[in-house]
């Protein structure tokens, strides 16, 4: 009975709800999905500064939830999903908690590679393209990626006119097929919930990183796998963290 | 309620049972796991010739099961797992059936990369090392692989003295950690079922491709994703297949 | 006095003849070229399923010819060429026989890289593009390949209207030059025999894999080089091969 | 007359002084070097959590210094150096300020590649190895790196017994030469100042990232080059940054 | 007080002057820049033959200058810059002299990568594109290069109509931004001196390899770094050099 | 009836003879092999300076032979082989002559990859290792190379004690097999003629670049392929070549 925590990377609780809703549509019947919204940070993450500031809120929120007393209403989290596409943060959470952590950028790539030879990513602003490409490269999942394309839409604009958003995404997705992609990832946590309809309209698999991450998180839990502590994620030595004392990170 | 078919790549039905047993330990409560053994082919797959001959039996077995009438006792298969480590075959099955197909070599790499920075594979005979490396390269999952190491044990030898087998695997796994791996994949379908105990003894995650594949297969089913038909897996044109008429592949 | 065997990958004996004719135009005066057609398999190989089924026929045909008694009319084969562009099969044949085996996909790339900085491949159906790219990647010959482009023509269509076929190939070859290619490979065994005229019309080298393979095969024979048996092509252990007993592969 | 700001990534002002001292030994006669220490963050950065927390302090410190009124005593900064080896942060600073930003990890690699064919990095704890390798990969400077090796010494231990530290570094540096390195980078800002003596003892160039960065920063200033605003470092849109209001980042 | 020698790769002393003038605009106040023109070789270097012939003149000119008696008027050279874009020659000079040697192709890439995520090169004739790409690949600096584009202008044509030259360069530079470049390198030593104005007109950093090289050369001098003698640049054994006796290279 | 010219890269005519002798052992019965020794340059090529100086002699020698009047005793050359392992020069010759040019470094790699999964190179001095690796990388043939190892023997030492030379080569070749190589290239033109015996002693294919190049050169001639003139090897524009007037290169 896996309990999956999903941490949003921005402070928008409505976006957290969108993400959790999408996650629940694909969770196994015995899986519980719990959403967490950071108390601090940017209202959307689209730049390197925002990604940096976002991380502190994400770490804090996960730390608090993960160290909260387990009660009937607040079950222990068995795995975390970090719902920022192309953002940093997975590695820090892997250090922080004793359960698996799954990144939606990576999960989307894994699902896309399972259903097509090469894949593409359609994301928000062009400026995030190098951030996403960088994450995929670091994750060793970039080789089969033919392109990362920006829609020019900001994260917060996605919901303004959903049909226009879908049309713009579809346009780029079709170009991606021409690039040689056979599947397309939605490059933003805020695009969660659109994959089904877009798949139908595109005629090729459209992958949502949030729903892709749920199955991987469940799977790691059921396999009993947890983050390796033999290398870069070894336990930290206690150390003075000026300004973050309340975090109580050992 | 996903129904997952697992096709063994050799003709050993006892190995099929080992694989199915391992898969069931990690399946979701509403998942059904069904094992299939090819009627023709080698009793174990360790060479390029054997991999080639094995494919025909795998294709035939999956085609028959997949086109069999759906009854209470023989439910429709929602996703297939091909349980040959480093073997060819995933691509042909993706063409053959209308549901997702997951390869255990790739699934193991995905799980290992989720719980460690770099990973290694410990397999059977040294001669299979280039086959496994090749599959990981083609799958775009090789970049974070530090080494693929052979135990020198044949597939059919694995069961002869399980404790000795475990010791040999552990020895190589420890060397892999020294190479920089933080997680280790068991490079043979016939090693299914050993991951838990080996993880405990190694002190680092040991991943079994069969159990890793179950969650990915379930996840693709729950996301409603199927193989893209826009490129290399487009429907085949009918064509004369001399000697394989009984296959009735369109 | 090298005797070179060329095995076609499909069951079309007229295509075998086209291939052998092309090979003979470039063979050394003391070289004998012998064509072999599989008795089973698809009439053309354009998909992963067909590639898989084709392999059994190729292995069987080569095994029979290679183990046939040497007589005046049936001289021993000194090297084999496998004439499937982008298909699997070379590795299995390398295990099977004690003489060198040359793949036309690889031979074409070698010749193209000898006469131009970067090269492209023009092939049949788009769906074979990933198969060809995959073979070149596995062979470590992909780095200087700028593109693999499909004409949309099926293998069996190539001969229907040869002038139209040439025009379509030339169109794509010209686009390939724009991509940065300086030489172009004909990506199908069935295109054998067209390289000369296409070179003249394109104004840049057009390479036929079959003719490229002949010289490499002769060269390996004259150097006395045979497949290494120290690693992945080591001798196989005898093993039960259900359904392939008549193959008598040890 | 370039004024170069160097921001330490940890809260140790004595380490800032070490860094500034090293920088001044190589600065041009008309260059001013100014050190900045973050007010918040870890006392040393060795883990992903610490790297994340460190970034906020670095951004804040640079922002304050960069937007401070220019006076005789506080001249405008013409370029920034971020003195964390393998840490994130360069990209966020590039967004933040209108002058060039240089990362010591990258600067060290550039200098090492200027004086040897391949290079290695000798760093502190093993756990930082993947962080450094990741930064070099993202920076496109990893190809000529043969190895990144950890001394097992924590950042704060480096100063405890300098001669022992040097001996341990030299041991690993000699192993790196055996790996094929011809130059060795000191993989920690806290190792600044040791390069000269270690070069003499090793008999091969030992590069300090801090001193390597000074010349690149000066050079960018003298060339009048500043961070491109056409892509990933385009100006940010104003956005609510809960909890970071005092940062007054537009 | 670094003294930097810049060796032109062609025999045009007016181009040497252009290069030296550009270098002086960015040199530190205590730096002396000295230009050297080979006595033999091609008047411009645009082909592999010309690159080969050029090298002898470059080696000879540097050897003579470097072994000339040091006087007030002819100070010792502390570092050399080789001003051929995409040409061979750096490695031979590194063997030849006991001070650092900097290549402008590499220096431009380093500067471009410091101010943008990915970069492009705009060069002279299309035929030099593979030479430049090859140098960047060998230097391990090609990964972030999105394209190398030729203007079709010969080296000696660049000065004929400077405004037309600038317009052509700008056209290609704009296309490069569309390719995903955020900074553009001027791919010819003869383009020195145009970077400032082109940066303003393009709205993105345009990098001149000559000016980029000056700071790196100064920096190596101030760090006291010299070419490693432990590997490929180890001292040569004396050897008979027929036809080059007057070179007096030991 | 191909006539193959082989140009040695050093001035040792006895080494030219060794090379020509080796070439003749594998040439087709209708092939003529002609050796050419440069009149100027180093007596052996082991460093970057020597490689640079060698090129001028190689270009001059090939130019003279290639433009000499064709007579019965001096037949036209149909293809050139450049017999320097890891040296530059192939590209310049490709520009210079209108017939194919084959490099022994590349030819050896092609042959080794035809008979084994991965290969290694055993060469002379360690300092040449990066030169060889660089040539293989530029040629796009390095991916399957597991290692390049130096024997520490100078080119001119190879003949001093042939049995000792063979023992040293064999030692390194055996280490290369342990690295994962299945075939080994002899990394020096001066090692020509030893491949057969070393293959027998090693128990794995040992490849001589000179003999490997003969078949590729013959093959290009028989296919009628010549160097592409559409890109980097386009005809040169006439240009002043100070000091090389007697070369009469247009």
Identify whether residues A38 and A50 lie together within a single domain.
yes
Reduced to 3 states, what is the DSSP secondary structure of residue F214?
helix
pLDDT at B22: 96
The C-alpha of E131 sits at a distance from chain C's nearest C-alpha, in angstroms, of 10
d(CA B213, CA B89): 15
Pick from F44, F42, F89: nearest CA to F62: F89
Are residues B230 and A203 in contact, defined by beta-carbon separation less than 8 angstroms? yes
Residues in chain D closer than 8 A to E115 (CB atoms) = 100, 220, 225-228
Q: Within 13 Å of residue B62, how many CA atoms lie on the same side as its CB?
A: 32
Beta strand B3-7 pairing with B32-36: parallel
Per-residue pLDDT, D156: 87
D90: left (phi over 0), alpha (psi -120 to 50) or beta: alpha
Q: Please indicate if any CB of chain C lies within 8 Å of the CB of A179.
A: no
E32 touches chain D (CB under 8 A): no
Tell me, what's the pLDDT at C159?
Answer: 86
Same domain, F205 and F119: yes
Task: Spell E52-61 as b/e; 16+ CB within 10 A means b.
Answer: bbbbbbbbbb
pLDDT digits (tens, 9 = 90+) for D61-104: 999 999 999 998 889 999 999 999 998 899 999 999 999 999 99
Res B189 pLDDT > 80: yes
In this complex, whether E and B touch, counting 3 or more CB pairs under 8 angstroms, is no
What is the least distance, in Å, from the CA of C175 to any CA of chain A? 15
- Could you tell me if F116 and F204 are in contact, meaning their C-beta atoms sit under 8 angstroms apart? yes
Is A95 an interface residue toward D (CB < 8 Å)? Answer: yes
Q: Which residue, among C143, C47, C136, C49, has the nearest Cα to C90 in the 3D structure?
A: C136
Same-domain check for residues E73 and E194: no
Nearest CA distance, D25 vs chain A (angstrom): 31
Whether C233 and F182 have beta carbons less than 8 Å apart is answered as yes
The verdict on E174 touching F (C-beta cutoff 8 Å) is: no
Element (H, E) at D32: strand D32-36
Task: Give me the sheet containing F32-36, strands edge to edge.
Answer: F32-36, F3-7, F79-82, F101-103
The residue among B48, B84, B127, B236 with the most chain C CBs within 10 A of its CB, best to mutate, is: B48
Q: In which residue are the tokens 């002609």 written?
A: F34
Give the residue-averaged pLDDT of C53-69: 95
SS3 for E121?
Answer: strand
Chains touching C (3+ CB pairs < 8 Å): A, B, E, F
Chain F residues closer than 8 Å to D180 by CB: 129
CB-based contact B239 C91, cutoff 8 Å = no
Query: Please, which pLDDT band fits residue C215 given cuts at 50, 70 and 90?
Result: very high
Is the Cβ of B184 closer than 8 Å to some Cβ of chain A?
no
Helix, strand, coil distribution of chain C in percent, nearest 5: 45, 15, 40
Chain E: give the shortest CA distance to residue A147, in Å. 11
CA distance A73 to A81: 20
Give Cβ neighbours of residue B246 (< 8 Å, ≥ 6 apart): none
**Are chains E and F in touch, 3+ Cβ pairs below 8 Å?**
yes
Burial D178-200 (b: 16+ CB within 10 A, else e): eebbbbbbbbbbbbbbbbbebbe
Read off the pLDDT of each residue in B22-30 and give the average, rounded to a whole number: 97
Same domain? For D203 and D133 the reply is yes
- What is the mean pLDDT of each successive set of 10 residues along chain E, which is 250 residues long? 96 95 97 97 95 96 94 93 93 97 98 98 96 97 97 91 95 96 94 93 98 98 98 91 81
User: Shortest Cα distance from A118 to chain C (angstroms)?
Assistant: 9
C212, with CB counted inside 10 A (0-12, 13-18, 19+), is: buried
How far apart are the CA of E130 and the nearest CA of chain C, in angstroms? Answer: 7
Closest chain B C-alpha to D9 CA, distance in angstroms:
24
pLDDT tens track for B124-182? 999 999 999 999 999 999 999 999 999 999 988 998 999 999 999 999 999 999 999 99
Kindly state whether A167 is in contact with chain D, defined as any CB-CB distance less than 8 angstroms. no
**CA–CA dist B249, C22 (Å, integer):** 33
How much of chain F is in helix, strand and coil states, percent to nearest 5?
Answer: 45, 15, 40
Residue E139 and residue E118 share a domain: yes
- Whole-angstrom CA distances from C194 to A180, C121, C169, C201, F201 are 28, 14, 10, 11, 44
Q: Give the count of beta carbons closer than 10 Å to the beta carbon of residue E110.
A: 31
Residue D157: pLDDT above 70? yes
For range A94-105, the mean pLDDT = 97
**Does any CB of chain F come closer than 8 Å to the CB of residue D118?**
yes
Q: Rounded mean pLDDT of A167-179? A: 97
Does the distance separating the beta carbons of A92 and D40 come in below 8 Å? no
- Cβ of A44 within 8 Å of Cβ of D129? The answer is no
- Kindly state whether A237 is in contact with chain B, defined as any CB-CB distance less than 8 angstroms: no
Asked if C192 reaches chain F (Cβ–Cβ under 8 Å), the answer is no
Nearest-5° angle of CA D81, CA D86, CA D92?
55
Same domain, C109 and C205: yes
Sequence-separated (6 or more) residues with CB below 8 Å from residue C227: C94, C98, C99, C100, C101, C233, F115, F116, F205
- Evaluate if residue F148 carries a pLDDT over 80: yes
In chain F, the percentage of residues whose pLDDT exceeds 70 is: 99
Q: Does E121 touch chain C (CB under 8 A)?
A: no
What integer is the mean pLDDT of A95-122?
98
CA distance F79 to A242: 72
Read off the pLDDT band of B250 (50, 70, 90).
low
Chain F contact for C29, CB < 8 A? yes
Q: CB contact, 8 Å: D152 with chain F?
A: no
Residue E85 to residue B16: CA distance in whole angstroms: 61
How many C-beta atoms surround the C-beta of residue B15 within 10 A?
Answer: 25
User: How many pairs of residues across B and C have Cβ atoms under 8 Å apart?
Assistant: 142
The 10s digit of each residue's pLDDT in D14-35 is 999 999 999 999 999 999 999 9
Q: pLDDT tens digit string along C80-106?
A: 999 999 988 999 999 999 999 999 999
H or E element at residue D80: strand D79-82
* Domain match, F155 and F62 both: no
Average pLDDT over residues A234-244: 90
- The answer to whether B88 contacts chain C (CB < 8 Å) is yes
Chain B residues closer than 8 Å to A113 by CB: 106, 139-140
C57, B243: Cβ pair inside 8 Å?
Answer: yes
Q: Domain total for chain A? A: 2
Which alpha helices (DSSP H) does C97-194 contain, by range? 104-115, 129-138, 162-179
From the list B46, B94, B239, the residue facing C44 with the nearest CB is B239
Task: Determine whether the interchain pair F118/B130 forms a contact, defined as Cβ–Cβ distance below 8 Å.
Answer: yes
Q: What distance in Å separates residue E107's CA from the closest CA in chain A?
A: 23
The upper half-sphere exposure of residue B116, i.e. CA atoms within 13 Å in the direction of its Cβ, equals 29
The answer on D99 and D109 residing in a single domain is no
Q: Which residue of F has its CA nearest to D178?
A: F126
List of chains touching F (3+ CB pairs within 8 A): B, C, D, E
What is the mean pLDDT of the segment spanning F42-69?
A: 95
Inter-residue contact A229 to A13 (CB < 8 Å): no
A148 touches chain E (CB under 8 A): no
Chains F and A are in contact, defined as 3 or more C-beta pairs closer than 8 angstroms: no
Q: How far is A124 from chain D (nearest CA, A)?
A: 12
| Other CB atoms within 10 Å distance of the CB of residue E238 | 8
D127 inside 8 A of chain B by CB = no
The reported pLDDT for the residue numbered C250 is 63
Asked if D75 and D111 sit in the same domain, the reply is no
Give E152's contacts in chain F (Cβ within 8 Å): none
- CATH of residue F112's domain is 3.40.50.12500
Q: What is the pLDDT of residue A250?
A: 64
CB of D95 closer than 8 Å to CB of D106: no
Q: What DSSP assignment string belongs to B23-74? A: HHHHS-TT-EEEEE--SSEESS--SHHHHHHHHHHHHHHHHHHHHSPP-SSS
Q: For position D190, what pLDDT does the model report?
A: 87
Query: pLDDT tens-digit profile of D184-239?
Result: 999 998 898 899 999 999 999 999 999 999 999 999 999 999 999 999 999 888 88
The CA distance from F139 to the nearest CA of chain B, in Å, is 20
Per-residue pLDDT band for C20 (boundaries 50, 70, 90) equals very high
Grade residue B87 by pLDDT with cuts at 50, 70 and 90.
Answer: confident
* Residue F250 predicted with pLDDT over 70: no
Mean pLDDT of chain A: 95
F 202-221 near B (Cβ less than 8 A): none
The residue of D48, D128, D130 whose CB has the most chain B CBs within 10 angstroms, and thus the best one to mutate to test that interface, is D130
Does the beta carbon of C179 lie under 8 angstroms from any beta carbon of chain E?
no
Pair B118, B189 in one domain? yes
- CA D44 – CA D51 distance, rounded (Å): 9
pLDDT value of position E9: 97
Statement to judge: residues E202 and E142 lie in one domain: yes
Residues of chain B in contact with residue C237, where contact means CB-CB under 8 angstroms, are 46, 154
pLDDT at C187 over 90: yes
| Rounded CA separation B64/B53 (Å) | 18
Range of the domain at A139: 105-209
User: If you average pLDDT over every residue of chain D, what do you get?
Assistant: 95
ipTM: 0.96
* Cβ–Cβ < 8 Å for D220, D102: yes
Chains near A, with 3+ CB pairs < 8 A? B, C, D, E
Q: How far is CA F183 from the centre of its chain?
A: 18
Between residues B193 and D183, which one has the greater pLDDT? D183
Share the mean pLDDT of chain C: 95
Closest CA of chain D from A112, distance in Å = 23
Contacts of B137 in chain C (CB under 8 A): 137-138
Contact B5, B32 (CB under 8 A): no
Decide: helix, strand or coil at residue D53: helix
Q: Which residue of C has its CA nearest to B139?
A: C134
Task: Indicate which of A7, A58, A101, A232 best probes the interface with D, i.e. most D CBs within 10 Å of its own CB.
Answer: A232
Q: Give partners of D (≥3 CB pairs < 8 A).
A: A, B, E, F
The verdict on a CB contact (< 8 Å) between F223 and C212 is yes
Pick the more confident residue, B237 or C112: C112
Given this model, what pLDDT does residue F154 score?
92
Nearest CA to CA, how far is B236 from chain F (Å)? 32
Mean pLDDT of the C166-185 span:
97
Same domain, A37 and A60: yes
């Amino acid at each position: 009975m896996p309990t999956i925590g999903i941490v949003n990377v921005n402070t928008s609780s409505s976006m957290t709800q969108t993400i959790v809703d999408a996650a629940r549509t694909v969770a196994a019947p015995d899986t519980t999905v719990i959403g967490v919204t950071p108390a601090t940070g940017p209202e959307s993450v689209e730049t390197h500064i925002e990604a940096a500031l976002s991380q502190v809120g994400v770490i804090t929120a996960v730390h608090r939830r993960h160290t909260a007393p387990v009660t009937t209403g607040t079950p222990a989290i068995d795995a975390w999903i970090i719902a920022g596409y192309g953002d940093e943060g997975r590695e820090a959470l892997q250090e922080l908690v004793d359960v698996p952590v799954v990144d939606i950028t990576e999960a989307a790539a894994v699902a896309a590679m399972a259903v097509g030879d090469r894949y593409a990513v359609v994301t928000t602003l062009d400026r995030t393209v190098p951030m996403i490409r960088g994450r995929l490269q670091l994750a060793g999942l970039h080789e089969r990626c033919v392109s990362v394309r920006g829609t020019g839409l900001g994260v917060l604009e996605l919901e303004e006119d959903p049909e226009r958003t879908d049309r713009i995404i579809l346009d780029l997705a079709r170009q991606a097929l021409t690039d040689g992609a056979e599947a397309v990832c939605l490059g933003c946590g805020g695009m969660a919930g659109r994959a089904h309809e877009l798949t139908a309209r595109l005629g090729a698999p459209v992958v949502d990183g949030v729903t892709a991450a749920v199955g991987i998180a469940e799977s790691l839990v059921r396999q009993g796998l947890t983050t390796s502590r033999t290398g870069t994620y070894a336990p930290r030595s206690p150390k003075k963290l000026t300004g973050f004392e309340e975090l109580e990170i050992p």
